[in-house]
Amino acid sequence: MHPAAATLAAGLAFPVLAAPAAVPARTTSALAPLAEVAPGLEELYVDLHRSPELSMRETATAAKLAVRLRALGYEVTEKVGGTGLVGVLANGDGPVVMLRTDLDALPVEEKTGLPHASRATGTDDEGRPVPVMHACGHDLHMTAWTGAATLLARARGSWRGTLVLVGQPAEEKGAGADRMLKDGLFTRFPRPSFAVALHVTPELPAGQIGVTPGPAFASVDSVDVTIHGKGGHGAMPHRTIDPILIAARTVVALQALVSREKDPFEPAVVSVGSFQAGAKHNVIPPEARLKLTVRAYREDVRQRLLEGIRRVAAGESAVAGAPAPPDVTVVESTPGVVNDVPLTGRLRGAFSAALGGANVVDFPPASVSEDFAYFGREGVPASISWLGVANPGAFAEAKAAGRALPPLPSAEFCPDYAPSIRAGVTALVAGALELLPAR
């Protein structure tokens, strides 16, 4: 094993499984204090996990991170895009590297039984009290991000350029990145040359990083369809135009958009998650409502699916003689994440050098969404990688038994946070120094 890699492996508290390429000396130097700062980062993680906040309500979370960045010498601006924050560390001529974390949690009641389990509550958009949990690992994202910000600030004598640390709100709603951009993220602050992020996964053991060049997260569109009919008595259906029947035919016909109108080698999903109509056994209602989720990896496939939903719904209503065309409304949208291939290649090399080649693996595209997509759509080379967080022993046991560990965003999601934090910090520092030239 390369001596520098052995040093890093000892600090990370998990084994490097294969001899990596030589770690650049400045990366080794920058990561040297990791063992020193790790206990404080673990305390931060526990604090963030115990005190989660819902989307666009992350005021205390953002304030905690802002205090830490200011203490490190970053110029910090709060309330960007609502509750977001931006920390800038200018360090001479060179590229601008953006490291992004998300801040928000979910309305989930934690069921892990851990000593540091969240017992927090919040208020949802309808004003109802709800339990709150970091069930998607944003607390771990913030902790690794803070650790990277700390080590890179300490190592500023070894690199030149500008770091932009972005704390983004409302990722769980797919809204925060767009809000920050509309509030001048790329105009009020240095425009990034590169944008980098991590996302946790229990599908990899702690200490491993998954990389996905090209399409990495699916686009998601939430579509509401209202079918109009003519209500009446269920005993006299001939005097009605039954919207339930029209909606049922629409649900079936929609499946052909994926099975017959799309290249079978292009993944896509059209799922109906809600079918609502009527309230009484013997009354045919005047309308029926469908709620759909639509997912794709390519923008042209996405647009064809959305057009197809409108066409199919209108066609079924027309065939049935409906009194009005259906209302088809896209109520929420997040574009797909397409990782920049050259940037992802460079990051993979940096991750492999710092963590060991066997700890950096190919990871398949995910059918879930991530509003990190908006940064890449602004023309900035962007890449998000997967950070393994499963306890290695539990992961191996589950794999041998043919079962999976609690997934994101499960109430039982339980990351092995100490080694995961160290691996996340290592990846972000190594990736940033790959992109920031030496002084």
Q: What is the pLDDT of residues 317-333, one digit of tens each?
A: 999 999 999 999 999 89
3-state SS of 260-292? CCCCCCCCEEEEEEEEECCCCCCEECCEEEEEE
Pairing mode of beta strands 327-334, 219-228 = antiparallel
* DSSP-H helix ranges across 130-225: 138-154, 176-182
Angle at 25 between CA 22 and CA 26, to 5 degrees: 130
List the chain domain ranges: 3-216+336-435, 219-334
Joined tokens for residue 92: 């001479």
Using one digit for the tens of pLDDT, what is the confidence trace for 96-110? 999 999 999 999 999
Q: Is the peptide bond before 33 cis (omega within 30 degrees of 0)?
A: no
Joined tokens for residue 207: 């200490």
Pairing mode of beta strands 194-205, 382-390 = parallel
In Å, how far are 73, 225, 234, 242, 288 from 277, measured between CA atoms?
58, 12, 13, 10, 5
Residues 6+ apart with CB under 8 A from 119: 50, 110, 131
Residues 6+ apart with CB under 8 A from 182: 81
pLDDT at position 22 is: 77
For domain 3-216+336-435, the CATH superfamily is: Zn peptidases (3.40.630.10)
Joined tokens for residue 95: 């590229």
pLDDT at position 6 is: 37
In Å, how far are 236, 284, 357 from 281, measured between CA atoms?
13, 8, 63
CATH topology (fold) of 219-334: Alpha-Beta Plaits (3.30.70)
In Å, how far are 47, 147, 428 from 41, measured between CA atoms?
10, 7, 15
Q: Which residues of the chain have pLDDT under 50?
A: 1-20
